[in-house]
Homo-oligomer: A and B are copies of this chain.
Amino acid sequence: MKGETHRVVIIGGGFGGLYAARSLGSSPVQVTMVDRRNFHLFQPLLYQVATGGLSPANIAAPLRRILVRQRNTEVVMADVADFDPENKKVILHDGEIAYDSLIVAAGAETGYFGQNQWAKLSPGLKSIEDATEIRRRVLSAFEQAERETDPKLREELLTFVIVGGGPTGVELAGALAEISHNTMKYDFRNINPADARILLVDAGERVLAPFPVELSTYAHDALVKLGVEVHNHHKVCNVEEDSVVVSHNDEETTIRAKTIIWAAGVQANPLGRKLAEKTGAKTDRGGRVMTEPDCTIAGHPEIFVIGDMACYAHQGEHPLPGVAPVAMQQGQYAAKTIVKRLQGKPVDPFHYHDPGSLATIGRSKAVAVLGKWKYTGFVAWVLWLVIHLMKLIQFESRLLVLMQWSWAYSTFNRSARLITGEDYRQEELQDILNS
């Protein structure tokens, strides 16, 4: 009988995929969750790993653990290579999986507007490895500055450029400002960490563009008060080793900086384009797959594309934004749709209920839009804290994060300030081999 059970394959264990899998937990279907990582990552807090406030395991939970009680669900750690929609198969790098319904939710990655050579010079913030790499670069820059005697080089080491004024850029800039002004205040003997320049460079008119104007203004002022130099209307023309070229009013300036962080854009996982090729679906400029009102692909009602990989343009003026609530709701919708169809019930189009938006700037400073209500300052910050804690998948993570936040709030310390990386193990191996 097992062979006759409806097989749902979900690609990606992010918000979309995970919420889909959970919604199917007690349905009479067979679920296979495919991810190339063994954990679900709570991306909204990734910037706190990048800035030494939290550890990777605090915001990542093993997928097997999350889904352990769902006896109809299997987790497969594998790389998806391609699709065979005709034969209803997902092609893996080392095998294939057959499906009756497919939910594609492989998310997005950092996008460099086609300038992919910038990736090595200016890491984005999408994975745990990105976060520990940014942490390594930021902390190493302060360490090197402490030992640098050339004032010009020291200045370059203490200049941090963040490209992109969306929530990630704002949160990173705020956290970096707090690190340099508070956390590391007394840590050095030759430099004053507060001398660090933190530049937030954004091509648009204002930071946090999707928020109401007055909240953008609040965020801007809060950043400036923290010591961040906010540069709107500045477009990045080039990223080079230790410098960024920006253009403002048709005038180009070169900013010398050892640390450049890219928070300016994302593009859909390349699997989007592969799926589009095979199914004839369209993609938008960011590689997102255009979907029908029911989140499926035209001509393929059995293939759902959801979350950051999907361009859903059937509600409102603009396509839905690439944020967690859209992915979660689309995941739940796809799951329910599959079950309803099996039951022969009619299905309504997807409808996004916007729960609001939040962004934090720093200690006691945040902005929030919940329905008609707008909040700034301490209230928004508490809202941000509570909502992010609640949304963390594991109860243990909530406790650990809460404890670290309380500790950081009262001591200004950030305990996860480790410079780690493969470099060291390679070096040690080299030492051993040479010795």
Check A139 for interface membership: any CB of B closer than 8 A: yes
With known contacts A187-B65, A420-B129, A429–B147 Cβ distance under 8 A: no
Across the interface, name the chain B residue whose C-beta is closest to A416: B57
- Cα separation A126 to B64 with both chains bound (whole Å): 29
Taking CB atoms, residues of chain B closer than 8 Å to A404 are: 396, 400
Contacts of A249 in B (CB 8 A): none
Q: Is A419 an interface residue (CB 8 A)?
A: yes
B interface footprint on A282-308 (CB within 8 Å = 1, 0 otherwise):
000000000000000000000000000
A278 CA / B187 CA spacing, docked (Å): 34
Q: Is A277 an interface residue (CB 8 A)?
A: no
Interface code A72-103, partner B: CB below 8 Å = 1, 0 otherwise? 00111110000000000000001100000000
The reply to whether B396 and A433 contact each other, CB–CB distance below 8 Å, is no
Question: Would A57 and B431 be within 8 Å (CB), given that A65-B187, A400-B404 are in contact?
Answer: no
Contacting B at CB under 8 A, from A395-424, are 396-397, 399-400, 403-404, 407, 411, 413, 415-422, 424
Q: Does A56 contact B (CB under 8 A)?
A: yes
User: Which of A115-123, A153-161, A227-235 binds B?
Assistant: A115-123
Residues of B within 8 A of A133 (CB): 425
Tell me whether chain A's interface is mostly helix, strand or loop, or mixed.
Answer: mixed
Contacting residues, chain B, for A352 (C-beta < 8 A)? none
Query: For A129, what are the chain B residues with a Cβ–Cβ distance below 8 Å?
Result: 420-422, 424-425, 428
Residues of B within 8 A of A259 (CB): none
Known A-B contacts A394-B415, A403-B400, A415-B396; the reply to A119 vs B424 at CB < 8 A is no
Contacts of A55 in B (CB 8 A): 55-58, 416
Q: Known contacts A55-B58, A432-B119: does B143 contact A77 (CB below 8 Å)?
A: yes
> Whose C-beta in chain B lies nearest to the C-beta of A129?
B425
When chains A and B are docked, how far (Å) is the Cα of A109 from the Cα of B432? 8
Do A413 and B396 touch (CB < 8 A)?
Answer: yes
Total number of A residues with any Cβ neighbor in B under 8 Å:
72
Whether the Cβ atoms of B128 and A65 lie closer than 8 Å is no
Q: How far is the CA of A129 from the CA of B141 in the complex (A)?
A: 21
Name which residue of chain B comes closest to A57, CB basis. B416
Given A119-B432, A428-B127, A187 contacting B37 (CB threshold 8 A): no
Shortest Cβ gap from A143 to chain B (Å) = 4
- List A241-300 residues whose CB lies under 8 Å from chain B: 267, 270
Q: In this assembly, does A184 line the interface, its C-beta being within 8 Å of a C-beta of chain B? A: yes
User: Are the CB atoms of B431 and A270 closer together than 8 Å?
Assistant: yes
Which 5 interchain pairs have the tightest Cβ spacing? A422-B422, A129-B425, A55-B55, A57-B416, A64-B187
Interface residues of A (CB under 8 A from B): 37-39, 55-58, 60-62, 64-65, 68-69, 74-78, 94-95, 109-110, 112, 116-117, 119-120, 126-130, 132-133, 139, 143, 146-147, 184, 186-189, 267, 270, 394, 396-397, 399-400, 403-404, 407, 411, 413, 415-422, 424-425, 428-429, 431-433, 435
17 A-B interface contacts by CB (under 8 A): A37-B419, A55-B416, A56-B418, A64-B184, A64-B187, A64-B188, A65-B187, A75-B187, A76-B146, A77-B146, A77-B419, A109-B428, A127-B428, A128-B418, A128-B420, A421-B422, A422-B422
